[in-house]
């Protein structure tokens, strides 16, 4: 397994541990594992009956350290084809797939921005998809940790394509799902899927 495959996966594991301030309204091409779309969520409580605007980092338990098992490892010493590289890649993927969810978010009505990774389509509409925090995740780069992927089923089909940016609104559930595009730690039956326009709109 090439070193170049280990580094992107290692980078995705750093997503959940990143604590740097994010841009308020990043352009799709500016997003990354440490700079998810949407930035920090508004601190103010939502008005009665309104969903809570959340950031991706709120989905990660504060005490979870995805890098705990990999500290002190020097990936530069692993050559292409080294069996240890294969073993490390499998271990990293296992940590990512089993990333714990934040139990405090279970049952919360939320609004969150993200990128669409289609799973099912019908008559030009997406009827099931993964929502991910940065451009290319699950398609051009390894999947993020499970606690950074939402499995979404809209109540009505959504006319969007792969990697379109959207707002998803609905009740968040800590429910795992294993799809061909990645393991998600959360599920949302979306009341609405609308075009992302930046900010908190």
Q: Quick: pLDDT tens for 58-68.
A: 999 999 988 88
pLDDT band at 138 (very low <50, low <70, confident <90, very high): confident
Please report which confidence band the pLDDT of residue 18 belongs to, taking 50, 70 and 90 as the band edges. Answer: very low
Helices and strands counted in the chain (H then E): 2, 8
Beta bridge partners of 189: 153, 171
Going by the DSSP 8-state scheme, the letter that residue 143 receives in this structure is: P
- For the CA atoms of 110, 111, 114, 119, the dihedral, rounded to the nearest 10 degrees, stands at 60
Q: Encode burial over 24-50: b for 16+ CB neighbours within 10 A, e otherwise.
A: eebeeeebbbebbbbbebeeeeeeeee
Q: At 201, is the pLDDT very low, low, confident or very high (cuts 50, 70, 90)?
A: very low
The residue that leads in pLDDT, 131 or 70, is 131
Q: Closest by alpha carbon to 38, among 149, 142, 134?
A: 134
Q: Return the beta strands (E) in 41-144 as ranges.
A: 52-53, 109-122, 125-132
> What mean pLDDT is predicted for residues 138-166?
93
Q: Going along the chain, which residue ranges are E strands?
A: 52-53, 109-122, 125-132, 150-154, 165-173, 177-179, 182-184, 186-195
pLDDT over 70, % of the chain = 81
In the 8-state DSSP scheme, what is residue 133?
S
Residues contacting residue 86 through CB under 8 Å, at least 6 positions apart: 1
Residue 8's pLDDT is what? 58
Find tokens 């969810």 and name the residue. 101
Q: Are 154 and 121 in contact (CB under 8 A)?
A: no
User: Which residue's structure tokens are 């039956």?
Assistant: 189
| Highest mean pLDDT: which range of 61-75, 89-103, 112-126 | 112-126
Name the E strands within 29-156. Answer: 52-53, 109-122, 125-132, 150-154
Least confident of 26-40, 108-122, 152-166: 26-40
């Amino acid at each position: 397994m090439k070193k170049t495959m280990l580094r992107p996966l290692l980078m995705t594991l750093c997503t959940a541990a990143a604590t740097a301030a994010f841009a308020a309204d990043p352009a799709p091409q500016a997003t990354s594992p440490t700079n998810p779309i949407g930035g920090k969520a508004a601190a103010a409580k939502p008005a009665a009956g309104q969903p809570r605007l959340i950031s991706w980092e709120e989905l990660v338990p504060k005490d979870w350290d995805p890098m705990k098992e990999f500290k002190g490892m020097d990936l530069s010493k692993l050559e292409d084809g080294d069996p240890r590289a294969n073993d490390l890649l499998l271990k990293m993927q296992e940590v990512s797939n089993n990333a714990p969810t934040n139990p405090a978010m279970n049952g919360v009505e939320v609004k969150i921005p993200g990128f669409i990774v289609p799973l099912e389509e019908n008559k030009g509409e997406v009827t099931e998809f993964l929502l991910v925090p940065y451009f290319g995740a699950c398609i051009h780069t390894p999947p993020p940790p499970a606690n950074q992927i939402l499995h979404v089923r809209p109540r009505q089909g959504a006319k969007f394509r792969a990697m379109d940016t959207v707002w998803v609104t609905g009740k968040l559930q800590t429910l795992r799902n294993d799809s061909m595009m990645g393991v998600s730690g959360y599920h949302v039956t979306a009341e609405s899927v609308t075009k992302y326009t930046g900010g908190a709109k």
